[in-house]
């Protein structure tokens, strides 16, 4: 853990993420109404956060400080970034403190210059570090990978034929399903659904949480999702690209989405990136302060990605596809949100490869789940 040292007061090692009390005494190098507090971090430059949140700024017996200016350590070669001279510093304010390497010690240091009213005296401020806005990753796609499957058209055939031939249906376990194309079409057309359940497909899916909210309304699949209670969530967020229609036209129940203008797409991109970065910085700040992951995650937006395994059979998948894809030829047209439709498209691509006869019968039957 990096060591923090204060000029004017020595303190125990609180750690970068903890509260730091900085004692300050009058400094002959600055005007009479200024006192200076300095502190340093033993470590590399990344160990010293530039942003701090002020919990209080008090001069014992004299109340709040006035006119706070935050500057780099005198040995720094660039001015620090902070409040303008004459500004007030109050509890809860977030301030920027420049950090530079001290040539004599190799430490990285910063200082705080404080203008006070009346005679200079001992000054104490209490701050804690605020994480920099972290680098976030932005995506506009979904990850869908078939990781395990036991699914073929033959599974439909032997399950259906047990109704008429009993144990002899086991002879069809490895039979060529092409000869039973008519049987599969009949089952689909007449909506005899149970033979389509004797198979299994497991997918690994990465999608934003707002997609999972819609996905998990389908209670015909099995889910195991990563937990924001047990692991720190990664800063990966969904931002729609310019191919996504973003302007809604028409009334509820009869509307369509159209392309936006360049200005609208610029606004979406800039606003979402800024919002995601700020929320993830707040998430990191709470984690650094010792707040439980299950509480800290509450600040994160539904555009953050989560991952899960999804297992379902062909009948369940057909139900999902009938609702989550907008396709010509559907007997009952559906109007899904584009992002969950992207997941459905990937599912259908994998399923059509595993069970081409069943898939063809589904499409021919108007995409109605049996």
Over residues 335-364, the pLDDT tens digits come to 999 999 999 999 999 999 999 999 999 999
- Per-residue model confidence (pLDDT) at position 133: 62
Unique residue bearing structure tokens 């706070």:
68
Residues 6+ apart with CB under 8 A from 126: 19, 20, 21, 22, 54, 55, 56, 57
Residues 6+ apart with CB under 8 A from 89: 54, 57, 65, 68, 83, 95, 125
Unique residue bearing structure tokens 């800039």:
270
- Among 302, 269, 268, 301, which Cα is nearest to 283's? 301
Rg, the chain, Cα only: 31
Unique residue bearing structure tokens 């809860």:
92
Query: How far is Cα 162 from Cα 147, in angstroms, rounded to an integer?
Result: 30
pTM for this prediction: 0.68
Count of other CB atoms within 10 angstroms of residue 355: 26
Please answer whether residues 311 and 209 qualify as being in contact, where contact means their C-beta atoms are separated by less than 8 angstroms.
no
pLDDT confidence tier of residue 173, bands split at 50, 70 and 90: low
As beta bridge partners, residue 336 has none
Over residues 280-336, the pLDDT tens digits come to 999 998 998 899 999 999 999 999 999 999 999 999 999 999 999 999 889 998 999
Domains, the chain, ordered by start? 3-130 (no CATH), 137-151+199-364 (3.30.1360.170)
For residues 312 and 16, the model is more confident at 312
* Catalytic residue (choose from 161, 297, 315, 324): 324
The CA angle 37-39-44, to the nearest 5 degrees, is 155
Task: Read off φ and ψ for residue 135, nearest 5 degrees.
Answer: -70, 125
Task: Read off φ and ψ for residue 27, nearest 5 degrees.
Answer: -120, 125
Over residues 193-228, the pLDDT tens digits come to 999 999 999 999 999 999 999 999 998 899 999 999
Q: Is 324 a catalytic residue?
A: yes
């Amino acid at each position: 853990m990096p060591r923090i040292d204060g000029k004017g007061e020595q303190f125990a090692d609180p750690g970068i993420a903890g509260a730091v009390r900085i004692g300050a005494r009058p400094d002959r190098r600055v005007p009479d109404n200024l006192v200076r507090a300095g502190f340093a971090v033993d470590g590399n430059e990344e160990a010293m956060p530039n942003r701090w949140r002020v919990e209080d700024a008090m001069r014992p017996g004299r109340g709040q400080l006035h006119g706070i200016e935050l500057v780099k350590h005198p040995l720094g070669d660039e001015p620090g970034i902070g409040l303008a001279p004459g500004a007030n510093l109050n509890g809860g304010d977030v301030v920027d403190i420049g950090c530079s390497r001290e040539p004599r010690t190799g430490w990285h240091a910063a200082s705080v210059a404080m203008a006070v009213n009346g005679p200079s005296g001992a000054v104490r401020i209490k701050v804690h570090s605020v994480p920099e806005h972290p680098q976030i990753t932005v995506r506009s796609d979904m990850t869908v990978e078939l990781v395990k499957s036991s699914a073929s058209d033959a599974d439909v055939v032997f399950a259906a034929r047990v109704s008429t031939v009993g144990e002899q249906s086991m002879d069809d376990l490895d039979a060529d399903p092409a000869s039973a194309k008519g049987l599969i079409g009949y089952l689909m057309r007449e909506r005899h659904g149970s033979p389509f359940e004797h198979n299994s497909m497991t997918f690994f899916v990465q999608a934003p949480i707002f997609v999972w909210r819609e996905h998990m309304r389908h209670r015909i699949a099995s889910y195991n999702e990563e937990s924001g209670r047990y692991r720190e969530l990664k800063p990966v967020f969904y931002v729609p690209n310019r191919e996504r229609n973003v302007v809604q036209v028409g009334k509820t129940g009869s509307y369509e989405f159209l392309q936006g203008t360049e200005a609208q797409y610029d606004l979406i991109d800039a606003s979402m990136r800024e919002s995601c970065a700020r929320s993830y910085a707040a998430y990191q700040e709470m984690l650094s302060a010792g707040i439980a992951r299950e509480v800290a995650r509450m600040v994160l937006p539904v555009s953050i990605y989560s991952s899960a395994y999804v297992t379902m059979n062909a009948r369940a998948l057909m139900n999902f596809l009938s609702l989550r894809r907008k396709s010509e030829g559907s007997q009952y047209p559906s109007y899904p949100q584009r992002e969950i439709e992207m997941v459905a498209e990937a599912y259908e691509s994998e399923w059509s490869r595993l069970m081409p006869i069943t898939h063809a019968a589904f499409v021919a039957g108007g995409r109605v789940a049996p």
